[in-house]
Amino acid sequence: QSALTQPPSASGSRGQSVTISCTGTSSDVGSYNYVSWYQQHPGKAPKLLIYEISKRPSGVPDRFSGSKSGSTASLTVSGLQAEDEADYYCTSYAGRNNPVLFGGGTTLTVL
């Protein structure tokens, strides 16, 4: 099964908002609410940002929000800050035979 599709890059100015998309199919993103997002700074382990489409773990700023429409999930980062510059990955449940699909990742640049 193919990975979820994310744009390779995204950018925004400090204080602005940016949205990163994660496109799947009716077999994964479109069928389940188990979409999560991870932030990864260079040389560091990924960090959970969003789970179950729009829930935030304790400690994650509310500047990060998630949503889903059809087979596309989205991560929105509001009030961009310099430390938001990182790689972002989405994942989705895709059924019992392949429970975890990752997106290819998006590099976010804060201008």
Partner 1 sequence: QLHLQESGPGLVKPSDTLSLTCTVSGGSISSHIFYWGWVRQPPGKGLEWIGTIYYSGSTYFNPSLRSRVTMSVDPPNNQFSLKLNSVTAADTAVYYCARHDYADGNWFDPWGQGTLVIVSS
Residue 103 interacting with partner 1 (CB under 8 A): yes
Q: What dihedral do alpha carbons 55, 17, 42, 73 form, nearest 10°?
A: 40
**DSSP characters for 66-82?**
EEEETTEEEEEE-S--G
Least distance (Å) from partner 1 to the CB of residue 35? 9
Question: For residue 73, what are its two tokens?
Answer: 């999930």
Contact code string over 22-61 relative to partner 1, x by CB under 8 A: ------------x-x-x-----xxxxx--xx--x-x----
Q: Is 7 in the site for partner 1 (CB under 8 A)?
A: no
Binder among 7, 12, 30, 104 for partner 1 (CB under 8 A): 104
107 phi-psi bin (left φ>0, alpha ψ -120 to 50, beta other): beta
* Residue 111 lies near partner 1 (rule: CB under 8 A): no
